[in-house]
Structure formats: structure tokens, C-alpha cells
Amino acid sequence: MNPAPISRREAFLFWLKLGFVSFGGPAGQIAIMHAELVERRRWISENRFLHALNYCMLLPGPEAQQLATYIGWLMHRTWGGLVAGALFVLPSLFILMALSWVYLRFGHTPLVAGLFYGIKPAVVAIVLHAAHRIGTRALKNRWMVLIAALAFAALTFLDTPFPAIVAAAALAGWVGSRLAPGVFTPSAAGHAASGEPHAPAVIDDHTPTPSHARFSRAGLMRVLAWGLGLWVLVMGALVATQGWQATLAQMGLFFSKAALLTFGGAYAVLPYVYQGAVEHFGWLTGPQMIDGLALGETTPGPLIMVVAFVGFVGGWQQAVLGPDALLAGAMLAACVVTFFTFLPSFVFILAGGPLVEATHGKLGFTAPLSAITAAVVGVVLNLAVFFAQHVVWPRGWSGPVDAVAGALVLLAALALFRFKTGVMTLIATSAVAGLLITQALPGLIGH
């Protein structure tokens, strides 16, 4: 008996619920979707789910949000893709704006400062764990390890711009696919279907591709035109009302570029965001960036939503709507940053979905992305070093060591690597520990 088609109302309610419960980073979010859509609801088969996931993992941008967009688009055309992708992001945006306001208004009180004193070392350990997790998947041979090491050295010692590292890695992969294709050949998928019989799904293995998901040049050009048109419309409105050099316009341009560089997830693009938002534009400080990542880890939705925190804090501190409208300006900046960060993800799915089969498994396409993923390991490791410096050596490498913070980093790393503690549990425990420690030793804060 074939399952009944999914109504728009049923799909809308599911995607809305997913937006509020999608904790755990990309792995956790994909696991939730697999359990709900493949195993429980049977909206899509295992093979079709993994085929969509493989495509989304090749793209820049948050793969879990793109996967939701892809499945929503497959089920209910453009409406389904827009609803699924937007509802994956909006709850996180509203929660992060509320937390960012609390952070800016009360972040210097002993209570909140104590909580963040414990959370920051946990963030260092979380980023280290992310580097390890990506590395075990990406560094399949010594050449991949070399690419990661060179990326780390280029960022750490030469202060190389992140886009240059991505471009160099892509070139290395493209050349390598011709000179040594075995180095870049992807390993066999570890999630292949078992071949056991299963209950039929609405979108099953042999369900014909719906008409809207078939490639047409007119459809591709229509999506690209809409995407570019929306970008020009919003950017034009910002420039017309505030000027090209104004903070909001510069945020829109900067995060448009950042959205195209998020290979390997949010951790990979954070060094680029740091270079621009902290060092170049001065929208926020390095310690505030760490605090923002901690807040991003505690909210549902993709971790790249930390950019909403960057926008909120930058909009507040730059008073983008004037000193009498700090909150409104901060909220507008967070929305602007979110729009420009996620617009490319929707375009990639709606325009590229019909092209999935054309590029699947072609080494000339996948090898540059494999090399970029290897470089991402070195980039994330550099991010961990940067965070460790601000947490354990708060006055710079030549300054005194915060031994208590260093001990908390080691304990958090032990909890993640040895005891497989969940991120939410680790952050909550670390926050309580930081509060207790700073109550007992108040001189730690601000030293």
C-alpha cells in the first residue's frame, strides 16, 4: 500500500517543529531529519535522502539547512523549498537576537560574566573536537594531511586571506585529479543501503523525478534571475537609504562573500568572518566573537547563525539607525546579515537540484571540493589556536597564563574526546562551573 501524499499543512508543521528542535550541529540535525523523514514518516527513501545529502555536502553553506530545503523542494516545488529552508533558520534568528540583547545589556554583570568565563574554555575544546571530526573524514592520505598543514601555516604564520586558501586548495585538487586521481577518489559511501526490504516511501527509490525537478535551461535562468534580483533589490535599498560605505551595506557585501566560502561548515568560515568583522571592520571584538560562538552552540538551527550575533552586536555598537534606536538597528543588522548569508543556499538548491545527476561522482568536480575540505581542517585548527590565545592567554602570548581557564579547556576536551559528552551538556556544565569558580575567585573576571 503506497503512502498518502504529504499535504502542505503537514509539511509546514513539520518544518516549523524542526526549526525549534534542530540542536546538535549538522550531524545532529541530519540525524533528526533521517529519523523523522526516512524511518518514521517514510516521506523519502534512504537512497533518495542520502543522494540529496551527498549533493548538499559538496556545496558551500550549511548542509543540514540545504538538505531540508532540497527535500521540501522535491516534495512541494519552490514553495516547499523556501518554507523548509526558512523555518530551519527563523527560530534560531529570533532566539539569537533575544540572547544577544541580554548579552549586550547584562553581559558585564558578575552573574553573566561568570557564566561566560566557564563557557569560553568549552568553546575552545568544541572547536578542537570539530577539527578532529572533520579531519578523520577528510584526511584520507598524506597528501590531504599536507594540504591541511599548509592551510594552517598560511593562516597562522602568513595571515593569508581565507579566500586565497580556498582557491589554492581547489586548484591543488583540480591539478591533482589529473596527475594523481587516486589521491582524490572518494571512498565508498559508508551509508549505503543494506538492500533489505522496507516500507514504501512517498518519494521512493524508483519514484519518477517530478516535472519541476527536471533540468531545463529556462528554469535555471529563472532561479538565477530571481536570486540575483533579490540581492540587487535589498542591496540597492541599503545603499540608497544609507550609502555604500554604511555599515549595513558593507555587512551585506561581506556576508555575501562569506556565504560562498563556507565549505566544511561554519567552523571553516569563522576565521574569514573574524578577519573581516573583527580585524577589518571592527564590528565586534575577539572575545565577543567567542561569546557569540558559545551562544550559537546553545541555539537550534545551523551554527553559521553565529553571523546573526555578529550582525546584532555590530549594528548595536555602530548605531546603524542612530543612538536612539540601538535595539531596532541591531535587529535590522542581524536580519540583513542572515538574508545575505542564506540567499545563496536557496539559489544553490533551487537552481542546482536538477543538475545533481550530471555532477554526481565526477572526479573533476569532486576533487577540488575534497582538497578544500582537507584545507578546512587546518583552518579550523587555526581557529582553535586563536580562541585558545584569547581564553588562556587573555593579554597575548607574552602575557600571564590563566591557569584556571587552561584547566577548564583540558577538562572540556577530555569530556568531548574521552566521554563523548554532548555539546549542550558540556556548555551547561561549563557555565555552572564558571559561575561557581568566579564566585569563589572574583578576581578572575577582567584580569
Amino acid at position 398, single letter: S
Q: Give the pLDDT of residue 267.
A: 66
pTM: 0.72
Half-sphere exposure of 264 (CA within 13 A, CB side): 34
Phi and psi for 400 in degrees, rounded to 5?
Answer: -70, 155
In angstroms, the CA 181 to CA 13 distance is: 46
DSSP helix/strand/coil, 194 = coil
CA 427, 428, 432, 433 dihedral sign is negative
Amino acid at position 366, single letter: T
Q: Give the pLDDT of residue 225.
A: 96
Q: Give the pLDDT of residue 192.
A: 37
Q: Give the pLDDT of residue 83.
A: 96
Where the chain has pLDDT below 50, the residues are: 187-196, 357, 360
Q: Give the pLDDT of residue 320.
A: 94
Nearest by Cα to 311 from 288, 353, 283, 291: 283
**What letter does residue 206 receive in the DSSP assignment?**
T
Task: Give how far the C-alpha of residue 200 lies from the chain's centroid of Cα atoms, to the nearest Å.
Answer: 33
Cell numbers describing residue 154: 598560511
Half-sphere exposure of 131 (CA within 13 A, CB side): 22
In angstroms, the CA 275 to CA 260 distance is: 16
In angstroms, the CA 406 to CA 383 distance is: 16
Nearest by Cα to 372 from 59, 126, 156, 130: 59
The packing angle between helices 162-179 and 266-273, to 10°, is: 130
In angstroms, the CA 157 to CA 379 distance is: 12
- The string over 163-175, giving b where at least 16 C-beta atoms fall within 10 Å of a residue's C-beta and e elsewhere, is eebbebbbebbee
Give the angle subtended at the CA of 179 by the CAs of 176 and 180, to the nearest 5°: 70
Ramachandran area for residue 402 (φ above 0: left; ψ -120 to 50: alpha; else beta): beta
